[in-house]
Structure 1
């Protein structure tokens, strides 16, 4: 059984219009929400073995908060350049290439690709994963390369403004 946790990066700062999109940092709310959402995972004893993140500053910063709260070493964060601005099919290729030694992986990325991936993986009724939103999807497979569209089962969906904890 494989479990995939999709995490959209926390809220980013748009104040500096000189910055490229890739280099936008987290804003005040993003810096608050990321550790809060990681704590919710910890409270549910949902700790991924590996965090695979977009290298964009806002996504990597989100991953660092999650790694810190969940007690993962920084070595537990892998940057994957193809996650940035990825389509659902590109994200699927990345997932299919995960090392089978890991049974629970978190993928930290961006919309619209992340939401489209979630919809395609488990036919969920979520139409927009908000910033720092998380969705846990479980698959009945032993190998990541067996995962394809509509083979997952949504186990959890949470986001900063929800009342689920």
Structure 2
């Protein structure tokens, strides 16, 4: 059994003139949402063994404010900033191949890739389009999807949504 955590970065500021999208930082609401999500994970006893984080500043800050308890392996991936859902799926499988004993990986990335991948992976829930994602995949949203297969063999349609945390649900 394995678990995939799909975390969309928390709310970021709009880019100021001349600022690159890549360099956007979290706003105060985003920082707060990431902190609350971190507390929620600790309360639920959920912790990934591997974290693959987009190199974009807002994704790295989201991870920072989550304050995940060590130990976990951290990989940075530019592909989670520039790539599509396929790059995200590949990141999950690669994590499984590189760390054979690990059964859980968290991707910290961006929409629309997060939402598309979550919908594609969590196919075992009935109906396949999961009701939780109908209103979208909000910033600081986290889907936890469970698979019978190891991480290296994760395929679309074979996962089951275990939990979906959204900042709005915390208030």
Q: Same fold (TM over 0.5)?
A: yes
Q: Which residue of 146, 160, 169 corresponds with 1:162?
A: 169
Deviations 1:39-66 (A, max 9, x none): 1010000011121110000001111122
Unaligned runs of 5+ in 2: 124-129
Name segments (4+ residues, structure 1) moved above 2 Å.
none
Q: Any idea what SS the aligned residue of 1:97 has? A: helix
Task: Let me know the Cα RMSD of the aligned residues.
Answer: 1.6
C-alpha contact 2:15 2:24 (8 A) present in aligned 1: no
Q: Any idea what SS the aligned residue of 1:162 has? A: helix
CA distance in 2, matches of 1:159, 1:6: 12
Q: Which residue of 73, 91, 101 corresponds with 2:88?
A: 91
Deviations 1:129-165 (A, max 9, x none): 10000000000013x221111010100011100148x
Instruction: Kindly state the Cα deviation for residue 18 of structure 1 after the two structures are TM-superposed.
Output: 2.2
Q: TM-score, normalised by structure 1?
A: 0.90
In the alignment of these two chains, the number of paired residues is 160
Partner of residue 141, structure 1: 149
Unaligned runs of 5+ in 1: none
Q: TM-score, normalised by structure 2?
A: 0.87
CA distance in 1, matches of 2:92, 2:15: 33
Q: Any idea what SS the aligned residue of 2:46 has? A: coil
Q: Any idea what SS the aligned residue of 1:90 has? A: helix
